[in-house]
Amino acid sequence: MGLITNDVVRWGILLSWFVACVISWTVTFVNYNNDKQYYYTRYLMGTGLPVARASALTLNLNSMLILFPVCRNLISFLRGSCETREFYKKTVRRQLDKNVTFHRIVAYAIAILVLVHIVAHCFNMQNLYWAKQDGAPPLKSKLSVPTSGDKWVNPITSIGASSLGFGLLEKVLGTLAGWTGAVLTLTFLLMISASTELMRRSYFEQFWYSHHLFILYYAMLLVHGSGGLVRKQSNLDVHDPDTCADEYDAWGEIPECPVPTFAGSDAASWKWCVFPLGLYFLERLLRLLRSFQSVVITKVINHPSKVIELQMSKPGFKAQPGQYVFIKCPSLSKLQWHPFTLTSAPEDEYFSVHVRLVGDWTYGLAEAVGANKNEPLPASQLPRISVDGPFGTSSTDIFGYKVAICVAAGIGVTPFASVMKSIRYKLYNQDEGLLLEKVYFFWVCSDTKCFEWFKTQLSDLEQSLNEMGRHDFLDYAVCLTRGWSLSQAKNIYLQEERQLDAVTGLMQKTHYGRPNWATNFAKIAEENQGERIGVFFCGPPSLSKILHKCCNDYSNRENKTIFVYNKENF
């Protein structure tokens, strides 16, 4: 049951994409392998021709698709437009949250297709080069004789020594298709090599700047096929290659076999890319316009463990719990936008983000807003900030369930800070539209210092629930996996009998070690039989796989208990 809920639609979408790629590749291969227009070109190049052309068309298809998932405003619009439809709300919207994952999958597919395309054309060009050499079959030699006008089919005009000594390589790179293909390949390699997990997490600036090479990538892609390197026969009506191929010595001498003429294949990349490029241009234009909107920093708060909080206001800014924004500080960089999850609730009079100081940009931001000073900076000295967003994530769907499980690992707690604050406001205001009745919250940390900034919000919620007589609404577990010294361990032991926890100061005691997820899911399933339980996670992929599997394993068809898995992606 859980497999159907959590995986069928996702795999169905991926299967549809894969089938589309296979069909486009196969149809194009069959076309170029059998079409009489390419009879002589295929004879010169060999099987590499249909392979290269099939890979090129499928590459165009994926170069079109790869832009849609990164149109953040489009994704947010689609999420919003699906809110009123039950099927979309529970199923399709969760697929929209996997937009970055699909973007990466398409990028891997492009990498494979680029490799296949290059290898195929290496064989093609080598075969064209051999057709110019002494000892080549007579028909290949005849087709390779340099001619002017529309009669040439072999772009290799000579096999003499090259000026730079690179032989065939120099001749290939001397063509429009050759040098644009080389630039396109190098550009793509730079982008994909700078997009690894390590680069994104540790060298975000390099990832950000290198990804903007997509402009060069698409420029080369649009130009690449316009050179007409692959030729097709243009006079099939008077010259049938099935009949005339064996009569090559009599071409032009007998009426039924005039000299074949050829034309370059039409450039096709623009047909695939013009719409997504136009859509992405509008996306970037909207982001640019937003960057000029006034944002006021109303408060800067220093938290322990190198975390700062920025409270801001912006006219017309409306957000839902758990959404995220992109922030730019022009005094630090006029181009860099960094994503941050909102930690404020919609009910607050401001919106806020918590920034962990881990790199040059975040340290520069802290210095610019005066976080390292004893006294707050006056408003006139605070830097100008641009904010793009907010954008939706899976956490915004938590209020669509009666029972929810929230799992955070380390700094992944930030989206749940907003959710917890909003829950407190809704309960306090006795919001009749609140469907949520029970929340299980797990926070897994490797360091005691990680608890410090969030425990205040958790403590406020805990206190509010007790005052309202709703102490059973929230069941939480703070799990410390490591990070305590021997002296801390002794202190924890001595204070074990105290009402408040020695580490967090909360009413519920800290758990030491990793949670037993199987036991927890079994317990929650037993307590909430027949419920559709939303599971929301923000953290590393390794833990995500465990939780995803538990959602599938502990969903029960008989008593209709279903765990619906949602993972944060941005």
Over residues 230-258, the pLDDT tens digits come to 888 888 888 888 888 888 888 888 888 88
Distance of alpha carbon 236 from alpha carbon 227, whole angstroms: 22
Q: Is the model more confident about 542 or about 448?
A: 542
CA distances from 341 to 76, 309, 321, 325, 553 (A): 15, 12, 10, 6, 30
Mean pLDDT, residues 254-270: 84
Using 50, 70 and 90 to split pLDDT, how confident is the model at 84? very low
Q: What's the chain's average pLDDT?
A: 82
Categorise residue 336: left if φ over 0, alpha if ψ from -120 to 50, beta otherwise. Answer: beta
Task: Check whether 81 has a pLDDT greater than 90.
Answer: no
Q: Where are the beta strands (DSSP E) in 284-336?
A: 296-303, 307-313, 324-328
Distance of alpha carbon 450 from alpha carbon 448, whole angstroms: 5
Cα 110 to its chain centre, rounded Å, is: 14
Sign of the C-alpha dihedral computed for residues 496, 498, 500 and 502 taken in this order: negative
What's the pLDDT at 270?
86
CB-neighbour burial class of residue 507 (10 A; exposed 0-12, middle 13-18, buried 19+)? middle
What's the pLDDT at 61?
94
Task: Check whether 172 has a pLDDT greater than 90.
Answer: no
Range from 188-197, 234-243, 270-279, 560-569 carrying the lowest mean pLDDT: 560-569
Burial 509-545 (b: 16+ CB within 10 A, else e): bbbeeebebeebbeebbeebeebbbbbbbbbeeebbe
Distance of alpha carbon 521 from alpha carbon 561, whole angstroms: 11
Q: Where are the beta strands (DSSP E) in 168-319?
A: 231-233, 262-264, 296-303, 307-313
Distance of alpha carbon 320 from alpha carbon 392, whole angstroms: 8
Q: Six-digit token pair at 542?
A: 């390794």
What's the pLDDT at 108?
93
Contacts for 564 with CB less than 8 Å, ≥ 6 apart: 5, 6, 90, 94, 401, 532, 533, 534, 535, 551
What's the pLDDT at 159?
66
Nearest to 354 by CA among 294, 311, 297, 408: 311
What's the pLDDT at 428?
79
Q: Is the model more confident about 112 or about 358?
A: 112
468-512 tens-digit pLDDT: 777 788 888 877 776 555 555 445 544 555 545 545 555 555 666
Range from 278-287, 358-367, 451-460 carrying the lowest mean pLDDT: 451-460
Q: Is the model more confident about 171 or about 193?
A: 193
Residue carrying structure tokens 């000029």: 292
- Say if strands 296-303 and 307-313 run parallel, antiparallel, or are unpaired: antiparallel
Strand 324-328's sheet: what is its strand order? 338-341, 324-328, 386-391
Using 50, 70 and 90 to split pLDDT, how confident is the model at 218? very high
**DSSP track, 486-553:** HHHHHHHHHTTTSSS-TTT--SSPPEES---HHHHHHHHHHHTTT-EEEEEEES-HHHHHHHHHHHHH
Angle, helices 176-193 vs 99-131, to 10°: value is: 150
Q: Six-digit token pair at 461?
A: 């919620």
Mean pLDDT, residues 9-25: 92
C-alpha neighbours within 13 Å on the C-beta side of residue 435: 12
**Cα-atom radius of gyration of the chain, to the nearest Å?**
31
Mean pLDDT, residues 10-18: 91
Mean pLDDT, residues 26-42: 92
Contacts for 76 with CB less than 8 Å, ≥ 6 apart: 390, 391, 392
Task: Check whether 204 has a pLDDT greater than 80.
Answer: no
Angle, helices 360-368 vs 204-211, to 10°: value is: 100
Distance of alpha carbon 81 from alpha carbon 58, whole angstroms: 31
Q: Is the model more confident about 379 or about 64?
A: 64
Using 50, 70 and 90 to split pLDDT, how confident is the model at 87? very low
Residue type, 361: W
Task: Check whether 381 has a pLDDT greater than 60.
Answer: yes
Nearest to 398 by CA among 444, 445, 438, 346: 438
Using 50, 70 and 90 to split pLDDT, how confident is the model at 228? confident
Cα 270 to its chain centre, rounded Å, is: 23
Q: Are 418 and 342 in contact (CB under 8 A)?
A: yes
Its pTM stands at 0.82
Q: Six-digit token pair at 1?
A: 């049951």
Q: In the beta sheet, which residues pair with residue 537?
A: 407, 567
Mean pLDDT, residues 402-416: 85
Distance of alpha carbon 526 from alpha carbon 530, whole angstroms: 9
What's the pLDDT at 493?
46
Q: Is the model more confident about 451 or about 567?
A: 567
Q: Is the model more confident about 485 or about 319?
A: 319
What's the pLDDT at 510?
63
Distance of alpha carbon 390 from alpha carbon 342, whole angstroms: 8
| CA 2-8-11 angle, 5° bins | 135
Nearest to 475 by CA among 437, 526, 447: 437
Q: Is the model more confident about 553 or about 568?
A: 553
